[in-house]
Amino acid sequence: MASQDSALRALLRPTDTVIVALEAFVVPQPTDPAIGTPVPPLPADVLSDPESVQRASEDARNRRVLAVVSHNDGPNSPEEGSVFVLKARSPGRALEQSDILRVFPVFGDFSVSMAQIRRSTLSLRLSQASSTLISLTITQGDILGRVPLVLCTQQVETLRTVLAECKRLKELVDAPPLASAPPLTTFSWLAPYTARRAPLPSLFALPEDLRVAYTPLHLRLSAAFAGDPGDDASDIVRIRDDWIRTRVREEGSRGKHLLRIRVGSFNVNGSLPSQDLSLWLGTEAAPSIPDQSLVSILNRVEKNPFEAASPLSSVEKTAQMKVVDAEVVSSTDTEGEDDDSGPDLLVLGFQELDLSAEALIYASSTAREDAWCDAVFAALGSRAGRYEKLVSKQLVGILVVAIVRTTMRPCFGEIKSSAAGTGIMGLMGNKGGTALRMHFTPPATDAVKAPAATVLTFVNAHLAAFDEMVERRHADFHELTRRLQFDLGAAAAVPRDGLPSADLNYRVDALDEDVRTILDSEDWAERRFETLLQYDQLKAAVRDKKAFTIFNEGPITHFPTYRFNPGLLKDPLGYDLKRRPAWTDRVLWASNAFARVEQRSYTGHPQITMSDHRPVSAEFTVEINIVDRPAAEAAADKLYRQLKGLEDAHEDTNARVNLKIMNVNVDMGKISYKKTVTQQVAVRNIGRVPCAYRLVPVDDESSIHPDWLTVEPMTALLLPDELVQITLTACIGNDSAARLNVDHKELNCTLILHTVMGKDHFIAVTAEYVPTCFANSLTRLTRLPGPIRSEGTLLTEDRTINAPREVMRLINWMMASDISMENIFVATADEMMVDTIRECLDTGAEFPFKPSPTDEKVPVAFGETLLRLLDSLPEPLVPVDLQQQCVEMTSRDEVFEMLDAFPPVAVNVWISVTAFLNFVCQSSADPEIKTTKIGGEVASHIAYL
């Protein structure tokens, strides 16, 4: 037994251990003489024939070893298990010479069952007194194309251990992991074992986790450095699978199917439907229900100009028209009786469906759900008969309902739902999410008889409330992505195509008064939403990669949806005075390359006033690749054959994989601030087998390339003779420039291109930095003896100039010339002009522009250059530690006092800039409006806000 264990260990990689091994045998399928191939597995029949069991047990070729193998990467990663089935290469050979025949990862639909084999007719030879014969059946339903395996064994005790271990490992996988972020890849450790055996690994079986799909391939590979190649054997499998996945998609693709989905989110604040919902659903208003909301909103039309928001889509236009003139709507309503306009799938997320205290405790009745569904169908009007409810899932007040066009119903299958509470004690359902997952299979056609399914997932979430709970909302998001699991198993919760609709409760981080002013004021009409959304907590979370990182959101052109107050404590727009208006209700989406999601509209529905939130809706078209399954599988098969030898290479490393770098020395030439320079490096596979490369850093403290350089592709697979062009792109942004301005001008680096299972190639990159006045500290600018490109050493500290000449040149030109100030800081600048102006500042050359009172573009470019120069300062003009105090200043005198705390050079720049701003505002026709308009714009450039 001990020798068997050590023999097995020899077959495994160091991270994997054998927990228990069982000796067993298979009973071969009888061969159907007519066809000559084994008949489909009918294990029960085979096993019921004692003679064939008897014969099988005596034939050494049928012997198998079943091993439960555990994988552990370290204390922080979860243990994962798998059942291996091994067979000696030839009968009687040592176990070291075994082949791994089958691998069953223990997760999801994995199961082992056992049964005693009927003994009544067994011959005496087999039933040696006490021996009992047990059959066990192993299935792994998650991996398609894999039939259950049936084995027989006499080792009853060992079998018990096997079953116990499988149970334990299964529970480990099913239980939520301890760490907040689940590992990106699960069971990837099995890849080296299955690489050669499985003709078609689980490429189609499990939807690829979107978080994995969104992570560039090179970041999914093992940690590797110069001289330390990492886990080449696993990496090659990941690179290969990615390569095959991409190509199978191309080769199996047979056109597109457009799926129209409308998603709505509505926090109903415990109310029951009392208004028509047709606007929210995008259908014509049902004429029988008098719509009171139309009256109330009409009163607001002059003060709440919807025209101000740029119309996003025809649907939104229709909605506007309804508000203004119901007649227009009816005249455009020319739809026939059996039209198929409107969405194929409607997914509606409700929050706060039930606010009663008992709802938290008992699973409440479906009365409220029914009431809302009735209202939805009523609002579908004449179309109601063409839709049916597909599925719904409720958790306390969080309800998600999917409604499908009846004719499309057969396309949806494998419908699953899930719910997770994150509310009180982190578990209760007052906050949390409900989710639906379904397979959509495009209708079969003559050309594509067996189309592959696409997985769609919809999440309806209600996250923690209140302005200051932003961190809690991030945590809720991560909690939900972890806990919203479907029966599917290890495929993580973030779906292949996720469309969460939700009251995400993210708020706007700006002063209450400002928010209301910006929303209400005419002057803000053009940039109202753009300005406020800069301070939106959700946008910030995505930007800072705190939550919802992989999600997209269409442009918001509707008013905040929260919080409205029907009573007296409201501002002119109807927003509650005690809550800052915010876009709490959002629709986000993510997709992969198999199904391209396009957002067609994103609309708030202020006409529906029954809650303190307003509902939002979003229309999507999902362009689904119609993949012909047989064609895709054939393509995968062919691609695997093309890659023959790829994984074998590691068994004979020596010089079989062979890449040639055509140019190992790359000169990028001179690189100026924000000017992109590209060069190419050609790599050819001159070996006889396919081979892959990846770029690796020098060591674990370095990055693969410096921040001013990007390299694409970072990893690739090359067939023999194939040539890949690697593109090196150099671009110096503010951060690199700030460092390079002070430091060396030579930009040299060495890229290390590691051939997987082979040589490390070095690519020497050289470049020369051309300095710029941008991204220098103000102090350094005042110590320059002349323009930054001129020769000379820095002035000593006692001889510095008063203010940077670059800032002064810009302001002087604008103030001294007879030019139009009207569009400065407002209109969009011409990039070429900004470049020219910056170049003149760097070299000291005269500006090649003649001031003219009729020219709008040049002054705008000067204004923009000034803002960008201020923006590029490594330390903002207003010192960080003084910014909070500055915001609280209320009088001119206080401001002057404050300036004493500024560094002297910043004071001078501050005075020049504010004097100039004052000049710009005063020269405007309406100074007050101008001040409001440009104030916010400029402020963000002189301080970090």
Partner 1 sequence: MSKQYQFKLVLLGESAVGKSSLVLRFVKDQFDDYRESTIGGAAFLTQTVTLDEQTTVKFEIWDTAGQERYKSLAPMYYRNANCAVVLYDITSSATLEKARSWIRELQRQADPSIVIALCGNKSDLAARRQVTEEEAKKYAEEEGLMWAETSAKSGEGVTEIFTAIGRPGVDLNKQATAQPGQEACNC
Distance CA 109, CA 107 (A): 6
Among 763, 767, 778, 829, binds partner 1 (CB under 8 A): 763
**Segment near partner 1 (CB under 8 A); pick from 151-159, 758-766, 815-823, 834-842:** 758-766
**Segment near partner 1 (CB under 8 A); pick from 338-346, 364-372, 760-768, 886-894:** 760-768
Distance CA 916, CA 939 (A): 14
Name the minimum Å distance from CB 226 to partner 1.
4
639 binds partner 1 per the rule CB under 8 A: no
656 binds partner 1 per the rule CB under 8 A: no
Q: How far is CA 832 from each of CA 835, 842, 867, rounded to the nearest angstrom?
A: 5, 15, 16
752 binds partner 1 per the rule CB under 8 A: yes
228 binds partner 1 per the rule CB under 8 A: yes
Distance CA 820, CA 817 (A): 9
- Rg of the chain (C-alpha set): 34
654 binds partner 1 per the rule CB under 8 A: yes
CB of 71 or CB of 930, closer to partner 1: 71
Q: HEC string of 332-367?
A: HCCCCCCCCCCCCEEEEEEECCCCCHHHHHCCCCCH
759 binds partner 1 per the rule CB under 8 A: yes
247-266 residues in contact with partner 1 (CB under 8 A) are: none
Name the minimum Å distance from CB 123 to partner 1.
39
CB of 10 or CB of 915, closer to partner 1: 10
CB of 665 or CB of 790, closer to partner 1: 665
Residue 87 corresponds to which tokens in the numbers above?
A: 């067979």
653 binds partner 1 per the rule CB under 8 A: yes
The H-or-E segment that residue 478 falls in is helix 470-483
Name the minimum Å distance from CB 90 to partner 1.
20
CB of 386 or CB of 759, closer to partner 1: 759
Name the minimum Å distance from CB 772 to partner 1.
29
CB of 196 or CB of 650, closer to partner 1: 650
**Segment near partner 1 (CB under 8 A); pick from 355-363, 470-478, 658-666, 779-787:** 658-666
899-938 residues in contact with partner 1 (CB under 8 A) are: none
9 binds partner 1 per the rule CB under 8 A: yes
CB of 9 or CB of 527, closer to partner 1: 9
Among 258, 367, 764, 887, binds partner 1 (CB under 8 A): 764
Among 114, 117, 428, 664, binds partner 1 (CB under 8 A): 664
13-32 residues in contact with partner 1 (CB under 8 A) are: 14
3-state secondary structure of 824: coil
Name the minimum Å distance from CB 715 to partner 1.
17
DSSP-derived secondary structure for 832-888? HHHHHHHHHHHH-PPP-----TT--HHHHHHHHHHHHHHHT-SS-SS-GGGHHHHHH
**Segment near partner 1 (CB under 8 A); pick from 5-13, 147-155, 252-260, 892-900:** 5-13
CA–chain centroid gap for 444, Å, is: 31
223 binds partner 1 per the rule CB under 8 A: no
Name the minimum Å distance from CB 657 to partner 1.
9
766 pairs with which residues across the strands? Answer: 667
Please return the burial class of 436, using the count of CB atoms within 10 Å of its CB with bins 0-12, 13-18 and 19+: buried
Distance CA 116, CA 223 (A): 48
Contacts of 349 (CB under 8 A, 6+ apart): 263, 264, 265, 266, 398, 399, 400, 458, 460, 461, 501, 502
CB of 15 or CB of 790, closer to partner 1: 15
Among 661, 837, 861, 942, binds partner 1 (CB under 8 A): 661
3-state secondary structure of 606: coil
Among 262, 393, 405, 761, binds partner 1 (CB under 8 A): 761
Q: How many chain residues interact with partner 1 (CB under 8 A)?
A: 28
Name the minimum Å distance from CB 751 to partner 1.
10
Closest to 694 in 3D by CA, of 191, 249, 241, 220 = 220
**Segment near partner 1 (CB under 8 A); pick from 222-230, 475-483, 555-563, 565-573:** 222-230
766 binds partner 1 per the rule CB under 8 A: no
**CA dihedral angle for residue 860, residue 862, residue 867, residue 870, rounded to 10 degrees:** 180
**Segment near partner 1 (CB under 8 A); pick from 219-227, 353-361, 532-540, 879-887:** 219-227
Q: Are 585 and 507 in contact (CB under 8 A)?
A: no
Name the minimum Å distance from CB 454 to partner 1.
42
**Segment near partner 1 (CB under 8 A); pick from 533-541, 562-570, 652-660, 929-937:** 652-660
Name the minimum Å distance from CB 81 to partner 1.
22
226 binds partner 1 per the rule CB under 8 A: yes
Among 180, 365, 750, 828, binds partner 1 (CB under 8 A): 750
693-722 residues in contact with partner 1 (CB under 8 A) are: 698-699
Name the minimum Å distance from CB 1 to partner 1.
15
What is the number of other CB atoms lying within 10 angstroms of the CB of residue 593? 11
Binding mask 596-635 for partner 1 (x = CB under 8 A): ----------------------------------------
760 binds partner 1 per the rule CB under 8 A: yes
Closest to 106 in 3D by CA, of 190, 30, 6 = 190
Name the minimum Å distance from CB 12 to partner 1.
10
686 binds partner 1 per the rule CB under 8 A: no
Residue 683 corresponds to which tokens in the numbers above?
A: 């790599």
Name the minimum Å distance from CB 758 to partner 1.
6
74 binds partner 1 per the rule CB under 8 A: no
Phi, psi for residue 578 in degrees, rounded to 5? -90, -10
Name the minimum Å distance from CB 732 to partner 1.
23
Name the minimum Å distance from CB 348 to partner 1.
57
Distance CA 42, CA 25 (A): 16
Among 25, 107, 193, 225, binds partner 1 (CB under 8 A): 225
Residue for token pair 């029960």: 44
CB of 232 or CB of 369, closer to partner 1: 232
Angle at 571 between CA 567 and CA 572, to 5 degrees: 105
Q: How far is CA 222 from each of CA 233, 575, 695, 880, rounded to the nearest angstrom?
A: 10, 52, 12, 40
Among 201, 282, 442, 758, binds partner 1 (CB under 8 A): 758
Q: Are 498 and 485 in contact (CB under 8 A)?
A: no
Distance CA 392, CA 174 (A): 24
Please return the burial class of 702, using the count of CB atoms within 10 Å of its CB with bins 0-12, 13-18 and 19+: middle
Closest to 280 in 3D by CA, of 366, 375, 351, 368 = 375
655 binds partner 1 per the rule CB under 8 A: yes
Contacts of 491 (CB under 8 A, 6+ apart): 108, 206, 207, 209
Residue 799 corresponds to which tokens in the numbers above?
A: 């001889």
CB of 365 or CB of 766, closer to partner 1: 766
Which spans in 730-830 are helix H? 734-742, 778-783, 805-816
227 binds partner 1 per the rule CB under 8 A: yes
Q: Are 162 and 69 in contact (CB under 8 A)?
A: no
The residues that touch partner 1, with contacts defined as CB under 8 A, are 6, 9-10, 14, 225-229, 653-655, 661, 664-665, 698-699, 750, 752, 755, 757-764
